[in-house]
Structure 1
Amino acid sequence: MSERRKFTAYEKETVYERYNGHCAICGRPVSPKRMTISHKTPLSKGGTNGMDNLLLSCWSCSQAKQNLSMEEFYQKIGELFFYNADEIAKHSGIEPERSV
């Protein structure tokens, strides 16, 4: 397992350019001064600090993703979305529709 470390200026610039200055998770523009580098596969789950495992993220997405892999993160987002959609519908008196 790789150890957490600070990224070099070259690594930061390369990751920033790879994602054209946009968060790889939500797509919002990210300032180079406020950028966060996240791991697609967290170090704690066998990920590395290799360039192919790094992605540009905004602070909000980085905090929400925490120690999840991208697959786990998207699953979490989906579960939260459907839970919240059902709760909003219930409070609005609307029966949620589900298409399978």
Structure 2
Amino acid sequence: MAKRSIKDKQDYTFKAKDFYELLERQEERCALTGRQLTPENCTAIHRTPLRRGGTHDLSNICLVVEEIAQLKRSLLDEELYSLCEDLLAHRFVECGKPKE
């Protein structure tokens, strides 16, 4: 039996009105960094990635700066935060600054 695609399972389409609704709801701030968002510097992502059991619907979509979208990919939010903590801790050790 052939594997069904996400599109076969769900009919939701992320539209421009959804984008602008999220942009307003998030007060034009990245959902993960708080950086200022513009239509030019942001992208929509799934909070819980589809390959990790997330759903393709508006309740699982948020707007983030493009760099975060590239970094996050299939990570859960908490996994991304943990990765960032490790990165910063390693950077502080390399620079000779004390770890907190």
Q: TM-score, normalised by structure 1?
A: 0.79
Percent identity over paired residues: 31
Question: Aligned partners of 2:20, 2:29: CA distance in 1, in Å?
Answer: 13
Could you list the runs of 5+ residues in structure 1 that have no partner in the other structure?
none
Q: For 1:79, what is the secondary structure of its paired residue? A: helix
1:71 has 2:78 as partner? yes
Root-mean-square deviation (Å): 2.3
The answer to whether the 8 A contact 2:47-2:61 is kept is yes
Q: In the alignment, what sits opposite 1:83?
A: 90
Q: In the alignment, what sits opposite 1:59?
A: 66
Q: TM-score, normalised by structure 2?
A: 0.79
The answer to whether the 8 A contact 2:92-2:99 is kept is no
Could you list the runs of 5+ residues in structure 2 that have no partner in the other structure?
none
Change (3 A) 1:72 1:20: same
How many residue pairs get aligned? The number is: 93
Q: Output one character per residue of 1:23-73: Cα deviation in whole Å (capped at 9) or x when no partner.
A: 111111111233201111101100012222111101111111121110111
Change (3 A) 1:36 1:86: same
